[in-house]
Structure 1
């Protein structure tokens, strides 16, 4: 039984967007659903000081929370891209697939077009070196909730996920901060049953006991920052990985099309490497070889 729990929680740790984001610790915490341009601007004003003095060395606010029946969270960030560029880049389901496979554990993504809306199917392995045949698939209904001139909102929903997780909700919101920058909200929540929670906690108490998040909870014996562990640490690591995925994909817009794929890979890995204590998993050569092989496989399949 203990072995089954460990295997299950290893899978759960890696599931695509499933453990992506931590909840914002504010009294006005909101579920990760599309709101309004004004509400997002109000949030930017509330977070202005936190963004300006972020310990993450970039204007990103990251926090984490867990509920009795799941996890939910939000990342708020300023990116150096105008709102129109963000809309043009992420306003369709297909670019989301291209973006998400930058993440080391996401091995394949496909879009199905239907009259009732697009479905985005993400294939995720429990560890980057596992073959795509062992991937777990999560099917998200993708919806452009708002494409107004001053406000972009994208919603994704998956009724069922792996290992008993359910009701996965993802939201991206964006408003212009100035002509060259955009303020983003990238939110996520999902529900789980007791078995999935116990499996995750078993992993975090054994194989994952040395993994940490980004929230500083104290000072260790050597006077260094002591970071949060456990489920919140897990949520924060995935939150940062996916924000860096989004940021790397947007940065690739300025690169000529023939070099764009490689540029985005290098951008993502370089950003991950800035946080070795939390996000280090492999070396650049291994990552590049993996992603190039995935791309060649998908090209051959098409």
Structure 2
């Protein structure tokens, strides 16, 4: 039983840190132009899906599985002007406060580099863990913000157990009415070891875990949702989308109240989708996050003082 729990933690750790491939061969201007045009096309082609979907507000997702790569794309509309969104998400420190809303992210720190920033994620189980018991994943932060288009990437080329292309991408462009169309892409390339771990996990402890894609109907004409690794990465992608939304929604509160407000809002958003996203009672989640936030601030102060 202890071995099964250990294997499940390994798998959940990988899902929590998995992020998708971003092409870096073209120039920043070319990438910006191509990305903006493509994202605008996706918006126009999917207006109907944004207006009517199972989430109950402008949000939809697509996921794919091919060979060793699993990918999910989440698209939505934020009720904030593009410049407000871009100004917030152009700051690496804000990303640490965003991603740490995820139950598996126990802390995040940032360091400025000559060519960008480094973000370190401390990944663990959903319950509280001391940071020395977590796994560290170091990501390179890059941002393109020009001509009404934002493209943020977090790249970790390799990870544990042979995983690679562990990356995250966030895109945004302005819409009429002071709103912003956004895209979160999240995926990973696995390995033989990780495939074995996930197979064991979903045959045992994760058997009832599902995502959001409907694959059919049951005997009562109810929806049957995707399971397995695709379901897991869909859950994580939606959690990160809600983290961005919660961060933006609470910026108008006094700074001293924002952490409490965004953890409460994130929890309430995710528990609307109890079948997919419920893991912890609210009291436990909030208690763990208070301790983890204190650890994160302590780590960041040490980095600022040059004591790493």
TM-score exceeds 0.5: yes
Is 2:285 the counterpart of 1:263?
Answer: no
- Aligned in 2, Cα 1:189/1:223: closer, same or farther, shift over 3 Å? closer
Shift of 1:126: 3.0
Q: 1:149 Cα shift?
A: 3.7
| 2:272 partner SS | coil
Partner of 1:217: 215
Q: Distance in 2 between matches of 1:245 and 1:83?
A: 17
Which of 151, 154, 161 is the aligned partner of 1:153?
151
Instruction: Please tell me whether the aligned partners of residues 167 and 191 of structure 1 are also in contact (alpha carbons under 8 angstroms).
Output: yes
1:48 matched residue in structure 2: 47
In structure 2, the partner of 1:25 is: none
Which residue in the other structure is 2:199 paired with?
201
- Structure 2 unaligned residues grouped into runs of 5+: 24-30, 302-308
Aligned counterpart in structure 2 of residue 274 of structure 1, from 260, 272, 281 = 272
Q: Which has the higher mean CA deviation after the structures are superposed, 216-225 or 98-107? A: 216-225
After superposition, the C-alpha distances for 1:206-227 in whole angstroms (9 at most, x for unaligned) are 1101111111222222332221
Match of 1:177 in 2: 175
> Could you tell me whether the CA contact under 8 Å between 1:16 and 1:123 is conserved in 2?
no
What TM-score do the two structures reach when normalised by structure 1? 0.89
8 Å contact kept, 1:171–1:188: yes
Question: What SS does the aligned partner of 1:275 have?
Answer: helix
Alpha carbons of structure 1 residues 15 and 128: separation in structure 2 relative to 1, 3 Å = farther
Task: State the Cα distance separating 1:190 from its structure 2 match.
Answer: 2.1
> Matched residues in 2 for 1:294 and 1:193: separation?
30
Cα root mean square deviation, aligned: 2.1
SS in 2 for 1:209: coil
Check 1:223–1:239 CA distance in 2 against 1; reply closer, same or farther (3 A cut). Answer: same
Secondary structure, in 3 states, of the residue corresponding to 1:72?
strand
Using the TM superposition, name which of 263-272 and 153-162 deviates more. Answer: 153-162
Alpha-carbon shift at residue 143 of structure 1 (Å)? 0.5
Instruction: Compute the displacement of 1:6 (Å).
Output: 6.1
* Distance in 2 of aligned mates of 1:211 and 1:115: 42
User: How far off its partner does 1:32 sit?
Assistant: 5.2
Q: Which residue of 2 aligns with 1:62?
A: 61
**TM-score w.r.t. length of structure 2:** 0.88
Q: Structure 1 residue 287 and structure 2 residue 285: aligned?
A: yes
Say which SS state the counterpart of residue 137 (structure 1) adopts.
strand
User: Given that residues 158 and 168 in structure 1 are in contact (C-alpha distance below 8 angstroms), is that contact kept between their aligned partners in structure 2?
Assistant: yes
In the aligned structure 1, how far is the partner of 2:37 from the partner of 2:286?
41
Distance 1:130 1:11, change over 3 A: farther
Distance 2:76 2:204 in 1: 33
Contact 2:19 2:169 in 1 (8 A): no
Q: CA deviation at 1:84?
A: 0.6
CA shift for structure 1 position 131: 3.2
Give SS of 2:251's match.
helix
Q: Which residue of 2 aligns with 1:39?
A: 38
Structure 2: distance between partners of 1:209 and 1:153: 36
| Aligned-partner Cα distance in 2 for 1:127–1:244 | 17
User: Matched residue of 1:14: which SS?
Assistant: helix
Give the Cα–Cα distance (whole angstroms) in 1 for the partners of residues 281 and 236 of structure 2. 18
Conservation of the 8 A alpha-carbon contact between 2:50 and 2:58: yes
C-alpha distance in 2 between matches for 1:127 and 1:295: 14
1:1-302 matched pairs, under 5 angstroms: 7-15=6-14, 17-19=16-18, 35-144=34-143, 146-301=144-299, 302=301
